[in-house]
Structure 1
Amino acid sequence: MRRLPYWRLSGFYFFYFAFVGAMSPYWGLYLKSLTFNAWQIGVLMSLLQVMRIFAPNIWAWIADHTGRRSSIVQVAALGSLLCFLGVFWGNGFVWLFVVMASMSFFWSASLPLVEATTLSHLGERTHYYGRIRLWGSVGFIVTVLGLGYWLSFRPVSDLPWAVLLSMAGIALLARWIPDAKITTPVQAHIAIWHVVRRPEVMSLLVACFLMAVAHGPYYAFYSIYLVEHGYSKSMVGWLWALGVICEIAVFLWLPRWLPNISMVKVLLATFAIAVVRFLMIAWGIDSLGWVILAQVLHAATFGAHHLAAVALIHRYFHGRNQARGQGIYNGMTFGAGGTLGGLYAGAIWDGLGASWVFTIAAGCALLALLLVTWQRQQMEATTA
């Protein structure tokens, strides 16, 4: 991987997902400590995803037209850090809504641009992507385990300081990411919405949207669900870490096979496994064995799924459409999908109960499986 800024890109992923490792498992517990109800928690947690519906596309449009992705990543990283400081000045619902919304607007810009930059640096060697992305998983594990033990002895009010530290790391590493040369093959002149409207591309985006909906309750409420069923915070940290450890194994192993196997088949397998996984979480929460197995399957439902989806998006969106393609993918999946997943979970959590929330998640994964199966032949023909 000559001339590849490996450690600068890897370092960014490390701190970016260290932030996720602090927010996804523990921010809901922090909000609960402020006496917010399930609906309020769902709304506040969903803001991280709401801004990913449209903000990445705004930033990506600017990046694709200026060709200065790294500068925009720097501005976004600093902006999110400054906005987050507001959590130390108030803890009312309206105040935190404003703080998290503004912070998320800037924070959501970074990842799609860095994804596009990383893939541009790799060129034809996209199968090396997992070796860089795995450092994000390492950052997640370090944070989720460290905070799990820390919060077992310290109040959850310490959490904002850990989040602030990870955001400072993001802002620092963002300054060191170099821009990559953007290749513009013949296909680049195609208007981006002509690409999006292709049936196989729209099917991919909708299926990934449904997968994100399925994961919405997991990221917003899974820690609360575990604690309510008697698991300690340190055990919660280990369970989250287990899923990401298995994810790292996928990032190391799967890229060796990606050049020789169909990414569409990988995607289909991840949807099928997600159905099983969320049913395990729904109805096997009191069995540590089932919970552990469900976490192992995170390797497929996130790790393998993400690798396959990002690679397919990169193939569909060419040249100067690359950053916007990743922005559309992030907006529809982590943005719209994650938002809907978190909101429906918050709306029915107290009424129907957690088991039915995760059963609905399994149903969303099943719909995604059926959709991609329907378009499988066309998707494989256009990515061959």
Structure 2
Amino acid sequence: MNANTLRFSAYFGAFYLTLGAFLPYFPVWLEGRGISAEWIGWIGAAGYAGRFLISPIAARWSDKARLQRHPIRAMALTALVAFAMHLPTSSPWPLLVLAFFASACFFGQIPLADAFAMRESRAGKIPFGPVRAFGSAVFVIANFTAGALLDLTGSESVIVFVVTGAAFVVVSAFTLPDGEPADAEAGQKIDWVQFGRLVRGPLGWALLASACIQGGHGFYYYFSTLAWEAQGHSKLIIGALWATGVMIEIAFLWWSGKGVLGRMSPAQLLGVGALGSLLRWGLTALGPPLPFLFMLQLLHALTYAATYIGFLRFAVEAIPQRHTATVQAINSALSGGVVMALASVASGYAFAWAGAGGFVIMLVPAAIGLVAAIALHRVSALPSGKEID
């Protein structure tokens, strides 16, 4: 294992260490501070809105930057400060503002880091799949650890865990290799007329499919812990449920370039992601018994991993390399911004109204994602590996 592989592994490990506590348990911390379900939904939406506004700007900076690690460093530092400012805060409006900046700069790092790591992988410097899978493995460890701390010490341990993890992200970001622009044309301005034509073609369908399928995780990310806790499951069991989904995600990422998975087109991967979403959220909304709930968590390999790899593969095959980070960030801004913000707000009201039954509203974006994946399959006539110019 070379030095660059270790550096990227450390960064992804630190990021997903933080995410393993933040994603499932931050709403529990908000509830512990006396925030209502409706306000939790709005605070989540503010975070997703931040991602929508900041990610494309940061990604274009990354595409043009002489050293690709500089934007990641800046966003990691800003996220740490914003997370730390949560510690003394208990009022909804300040938390909403802090969530905007914290989520924008924390989640905004991922499309930059993914694009950076993907470029290094294509240059033969690191193996992308195993490095990214290592981050998911650390997520599992963080998930169990944060859940155990919650049971032992209460909800305040969540924000302490998150701030500590964010500090590790900063340290690891400063160890990343310098990186270079994608190519000699990286500093050129985007031809937005040309880009508009791409969006009206396969890129638009790929973005819509990815955004809706990934955005369909909105209820899961913000309210599954609260919903399952209300059904009588312990934090340890809930952590195990999350970990089950991530472990199958790791396996999918590890094998995504091999065998049948390696031969699947982006549209096919997005399609199976949408079908998995319809099945997963529809059955989870019925409040199944715990063993069946664990089985449904295995569908995370489709709802998240297949969708993630599907769009990433589309970006690699169909988009000029100099715009990879920008397109990845637009995808992140839509899936983790617009759609997720709407899903978060809707989920807050759905949870207040129906508890775990609120999962059913996630069928709407999943269905739209399936239609978009089918459309992508029909309009994509590009040979594998050819870029859109």
Judge which range, 89-98 or 77-86, deviates more.
Answer: 89-98
Matches within 5 A, 1:173-322: 173-184=172-183, 191=191, 194-195=194-195, 196-257=198-259, 258-283=261-286, 285-322=287-324
Judge which range, 22-31 or 368-377, deviates more.
Answer: 368-377
Q: Shift of the alpha carbon at 1:260?
A: 3.0
Q: Shift of the alpha carbon at 1:4?
A: 7.2
Give 1 or 2: higher helix fraction.
1
1:375 aligns with 2:376: yes
**Contact 2:5-2:126 within 8 A present in 1 as well:** no
Q: Which residue does the alignment assign to 1:333?
A: 335
Q: Which residue does the alignment assign to 2:56?
A: 57
**Contact 1:112-1:330 within 8 A present in 2 as well:** yes
Q: Residues 39 and 382 of structure 1: is their aligned pair in 2 closer, same or farther, counting only changes over 3 Å?
A: farther
Alpha-carbon displacement from aligned partner over 1:64-92 (angstroms, at most 9, x marks no partner): 23333201111111111112211122211
Counterpart CA distance in 2 for 1:323 and 1:176 is 20
User: Which amino acid in 1 is paired with 2:194?
Assistant: H
Aligned sequence identity (%): 22
Q: Residues 157 and 182 of structure 1: is their aligned pair in 2 closer, same or farther, counting only changes over 3 Å?
A: same
Alpha-carbon displacement from aligned partner over 1:140-159 (angstroms, at most 9, x marks no partner): 10110011122112111111
Judge which range, 371-380 or 231-240, deviates more.
Answer: 371-380
1:134 aligns with 2:136: no
**Contact 1:13-1:136 within 8 A present in 2 as well:** yes
* Local SS of the residue matching 1:314: helix
Q: Which residue does the alignment assign to 2:38?
A: 39
Counterpart CA distance in 2 for 1:315 and 1:143 is 34
Q: Which residue does the alignment assign to 1:359?
A: 360
User: Which amino acid in 1 is paired with 2:191?
Assistant: A
- TM-score of the superposition, structure 2-length normalised? 0.91
Judge which range, 254-263 or 268-277, deviates more.
Answer: 254-263
**Contact 2:274-2:366 within 8 A present in 1 as well:** yes
Judge which range, 203-212 or 363-372, deviates more.
Answer: 363-372
Q: When the two structures are aligned, how many residues end up with a matched partner?
A: 381
* Local SS of the residue matching 1:89: coil
Q: Which residue does the alignment assign to 1:170?
A: 169
* Local SS of the residue matching 2:89: coil
Q: Which residue does the alignment assign to 1:104?
A: 103
Counterpart CA distance in 1 for 2:96 and 2:146 is 24
* Local SS of the residue matching 2:76: helix
Alpha-carbon displacement from aligned partner over 1:40-77 (angstroms, at most 9, x marks no partner): 01111233321111201111222223333201111111
Q: Residues 119 and 368 of structure 1: is their aligned pair in 2 closer, same or farther, counting only changes over 3 Å?
A: same
* Local SS of the residue matching 1:275: helix
**Contact 1:127-1:255 within 8 A present in 2 as well:** no
**Contact 1:229-1:286 within 8 A present in 2 as well:** no
Q: Shift of the alpha carbon at 1:361?
A: 0.8
**Contact 1:129-1:255 within 8 A present in 2 as well:** no
**Contact 1:211-1:337 within 8 A present in 2 as well:** no
**Contact 1:51-1:108 within 8 A present in 2 as well:** no
Alpha-carbon displacement from aligned partner over 1:9-59 (angstroms, at most 9, x marks no partner): 111111111221111111111111122111101111233321111201111
* Local SS of the residue matching 1:350: helix
Counterpart CA distance in 2 for 1:261 and 1:375 is 14
* Local SS of the residue matching 2:256: helix
* Local SS of the residue matching 1:24: helix
Q: Shift of the alpha carbon at 1:190?
A: 6.8
Q: Shift of the alpha carbon at 1:228?
A: 0.5
Q: Shift of the alpha carbon at 1:126?
A: 11
User: Which amino acid in 2 is paired with 1:346?
Assistant: G
Q: Shift of the alpha carbon at 1:94?
A: 1.8
Q: Residues 186 and 26 of structure 1: is their aligned pair in 2 closer, same or farther, counting only changes over 3 Å?
A: closer
**Contact 1:122-1:129 within 8 A present in 2 as well:** yes
Matches within 5 A, 1:13-28: 13-28=12-27
Counterpart CA distance in 2 for 1:363 and 1:75 is 36
Q: Residues 193 and 343 of structure 1: is their aligned pair in 2 closer, same or farther, counting only changes over 3 Å?
A: farther
Q: Which residue does the alignment assign to 1:345?
A: 347
Q: Shift of the alpha carbon at 1:300?
A: 1.5
RMSD: 2.3
**Contact 1:281-1:290 within 8 A present in 2 as well:** no
User: Which amino acid in 2 is paired with 1:368?
Assistant: G
- Mark the runs of 5 or more structure 2 residues left unpaired by the alignment: none
Counterpart CA distance in 2 for 1:207 and 1:102 is 27
- Mark the runs of 5 or more structure 1 residues left unpaired by the alignment: none
